[in-house]
Amino acid sequence: MSQFTRRGALSFGAAALAAPAFGQPVTTGRAKVPGGTIWWKKVGAGSKPPLLTLHGGPGAGHNYLLSLAALADDRPVIFYDQLGCGQADSPVDEKIYTIQRSVDELDAVRQALDLKEIVLFGHSWGSMLAIEYLCQGRGAGVQKLILGGALASVPQANAGQMRLIAAMPDGAGARMHTLEAAHKEDSAAYGKLTELFYKRHVCRADPPPPEFLASMDIVGKSIAYRVMNGPNEFTIIGVIKDWDRRKDLHRIKLPTLITTGEYDEVTLDCHQTIHQAIKGSTLEIFKDCSHMTMCEQPAKYVASLLRFMA
């Protein structure tokens, strides 16, 4: 998302960092993980297994997921900023930003917070992280799985993004590729075309909520995003570019909810791949939403998760 945020979120305005409280107790802290320390927030103090959330990016920070704090009436909800973004450490050594280190980080967070039994939620890159974690056999104590804006293969997802770009109105996709071929990705014209893609397929809320804007600001500064993903959502040239776990999805044997928006930048075929491979999983498509479903229709999204976790 960095092309978008380098331009100050363009017409989306300034980011706000305030978090909803939802009348629940809130605790925060830091935890040691491979490579540094991360920042975490726990909302609620109920007795049900906590919902542990994995944000996207890599490097978007937890902020855009804060609508899920509404679930704290039912159980604790835990957010954390992964290494390289937000309030976590951001080491400058690019070699530490790997998929495996992120998997090890997730285990370290669970150990630090004594999270023996959890419901695991992953969105976008967070869905990749959850899938990788479970395919490595690290899922002891994970009772249920929720995957939003989800993918099991970066090449599959990127191919879908290219189809969405080709379908942009008034030849916008062709103009975008022309500017890319001329190495003019830093131009104002390319920025406007990127903004158009984001407004169609990343967040369709108008105006976008402040929590989304905060994450857009965070990802634009994130070393993790630049190294692991690339310069923007659809130019995936970083560490994750060849990741593919489609053939291993059958290893996941958990009650699983998969959510996507009608206009999600992670196209429907990616979600169907996961749905078909995880036996007994449920796929829910949110009408008029894109990638940030929890920001676009937060009440409906929270209600869907609440039903699934009941």
Question: Active-site residues: which are they?
Answer: 124, 264, 291
Closest by CA to 53, choosing from 111, 116, 106, is 106
Residue 234 CB partners (closer than 8 Å, separation 6+): 158, 161, 162, 165, 197, 265
DSSP string, 180-213: HHTT-TTSHHHHHHHHHHHHHHT---SSPPHHHH
Q: How many CA atoms lie within 13 A of 166 on its CB side?
A: 6
CB atoms within 10 A of CB 22: 17
CB 285 within 8 A of CB 192: no
| Encoded tokens for 192 | 């406007």
DSSP 88: S
